[in-house]
Amino acid sequence: MVKFKLEGKEYKLPEFISISDYVKISKVKDLFTDEYFYPKLINILTSCPLEDLMDCGFEEINYLGYSIISILPKEKDITFVDRFELDGVQYGFIPNWKDLTFAEFIDLDTISSKKTNELLDMLHILGAIMYRPIITETSEHNFTIEDYDIELMKKRSELFKNRLDIKIILGGQFFFINFVKKFSDYTQPSSTLTLSMWDKIKIIWMMWRMIYKGRSKNHSVGFWSSTEFVRTTLQNMSTSTKKT
């Protein structure tokens, strides 16, 4: 942990960039091209007065600024994390997409579709939907999580906001976006009417729910046959909308 004293008051740099810190930094227009970038960055993360920082030596500010830069999320460092521990509680990422409830999907859809600034303000909520307490586990990466509950999610999101490393949320968001892109490829584009990516995934999600809900012990539908069913249906739908 890096600490420094200024005007008799002690400050400390964060050990990681929280969701809250990430939002603050991201919302400062042109911060990364500002000639006073380091002092402003230190000010954002420590609340140390900017005017006091401007009076500090170059080497000291340069050292503090570089220390912060070293923990900022970089694309190459963002990886998907399926579980983590916070305050003694084990949290896990949504383990089974086919069991996603309608409420979960709509909330994920609504938040992910927001404009950049609005999305920034809801990153902690997005994280609280994707990551929930692990209830049972067979192995490290095979577990079940708490059922989706909006009230519990709200409380968890406030905890995540200031206590969770933003890299975990960005990794989960990246995973979710790629999941959507993968399944959106099943639809052929129409020259007159093109379904949005989210329209496609909603349709696919509903189909998966129908497929798995309709399964019985005597009649199972394999992943490949289910996927072929989805692909064929969506292609037919595209043809129909094109004719329309």
- Cβ atoms of residues 124 and 158 within 8 Å: yes
180, 185, 187, 190: CA torsion to nearest 10: 110
Q: 145-173, pLDDT tens digit by residue?
A: 999 999 999 999 999 999 999 999 999 88
Query: Closest Cα partner for 30 from 40, 20, 42, 22?
Result: 40
162 CB contacts (<8 Å, ≥6 apart)? 18, 19, 20
Q: Are residues 193 and 156 in the same domain?
A: no
Last residue within a domain, chosen from 17, 47, 72: 72
Q: Which of 168, 183, 198 is the last residue of a domain?
A: 183
Domain boundary among 72, 96, 120: 72
83 shares a domain with 61: no
Length of the chain (residues)? 244
Residues 94 and 142 in one domain: yes
163 shares its domain with 214? no
Kindly state whether residues 96 and 175 are assigned to the same domain. yes
The reply to whether 99 and 190 lie within a common domain is no
What is the percentage of the chain residues whose pLDDT exceeds 70? 73
> Are 127 and 207 in the same domain?
no
**For 66-78, what is the mean pLDDT?**
90
Residues 65, 52 share a domain: yes
Task: Please report which confidence band the pLDDT of residue 241 belongs to, taking 50, 70 and 90 as the band edges.
Answer: very low
User: For residue 82, which phi and psi values (nearest 5 degrees)?
Assistant: -90, -10
11 shares a domain with 54:
yes
pLDDT at position 175 = 83
State which residues form the domain around 193.
186-243
Q: Residue 28: its pLDDT value, please?
A: 86
240 has a pLDDT exceeding 50:
no
Query: 147 and 94 share a domain?
Result: yes
pLDDT tens-place string over residues 176-214: 777 666 655 544 444 444 555 555 555 555 554 454 444
User: What angle in degrees, to the nearest 10, is found between the helix axes of 223-243 and 197-213?
Assistant: 130
Instruction: Please indicate, yes or no, whether residues 228 and 129 belong to a single structural domain of this protein.
Output: no
What's the domain count of the chain? 3
Contact 32, 40 (CB under 8 A): no
Kindly state whether residues 155 and 96 are assigned to the same domain. yes
The pLDDT value recorded for residue 217 is 41
pLDDT at position 127:
95
